[in-house]
Amino acid sequence: MLLQNVHEYFASLDQSVQTKVTSEGTFMPSSTHDITLMLDTAMQLGIVRPEATFLDAGSGDGRSVAVASALGLRAYGIEVDGDLVKESRIHLQQLGLAGVVVAGNFKEDAAYDQMGVTFDQIGVFYNFANGVHPLAVRMSDQSPSGTVLLLQDFSEVNSPSLPLVQRVQRNHESADRVRGSLYILQKR
């Protein structure tokens, strides 16, 4: 029921949500159904557990943090744009979810310090399309084996330590937004 509320809540906002250029990339709202599909698939594969710590690196309006929180994960987001951080916090509060979004850059330790976690404590990373390469490089260097990376764009990742685990075909509910596949990678 809680997850359905998240889907309905963000669907009601989607007509008015605009893409936004930030200092680190472009915010384009992800489909909550795509995020759910990736997390559900990773959970069914047994590579994401309900107690995992989830981070959306570039969390925009907080929808992925909301989905992860509704699924029971410890959910965090880091967003460089202050207005989007405020929106995220409002959305999470209105939904009654415990997710946390901080202002900062996911490439910098200061953002993790604000959340009270370290980079290597994140078990699941999500990234739509901005900054995938530096995130993958840092994961290769610092994340423990088993850390999961959920992506909408696989083209920037070329790391033998982050192999593709599953390519997931988008479902019909998101097909009108974006075509193609979703990707689940896991650090060796």
Residue ranges of domains in the chain, CATH in brackets: 2-186 (3.40.50.150)
CB-CB neighbours of 140 under 10 Å: 16
Q: Give the pair of three-digit tokens for residue 127.
A: 């990234």
What 3-state DSSP class applies to 62? Answer: coil
> In which element (H, E) is residue 32 found?
helix 32-44
Q: 126 near 57, Cβ under 8 Å? A: yes
The percent of residues in the chain predicted with pLDDT above 70, rounded, is: 95
CA distance linking residue 149 with residue 140, whole number of Å = 11
Helix, strand, coil percentages for the chain (3-state, nearest 5):
35, 20, 40
Above 70 in pLDDT, residue 38?
Answer: yes
Helix (H) or strand (E) run with residue 150 in it = strand 148-151
Whether pLDDT at 176 is above 70: no
Q: What is the pLDDT of residues 92-142, one digit of tens each?
A: 999 999 999 999 999 999 999 999 999 999 999 999 777 888 999 999 999
**Token digits of residue 55:** 């981070």
Instruction: Return the higher-pLDDT residue of 26 and 68.
Output: 68
Cβ atoms of 31 and 67 closer than 8 Å: no
Q: Is the pLDDT of residue 156 over 50?
A: yes
CA distance 52 to 73: 6
Please report the pLDDT score of residue 145 as a whole number.
Answer: 97
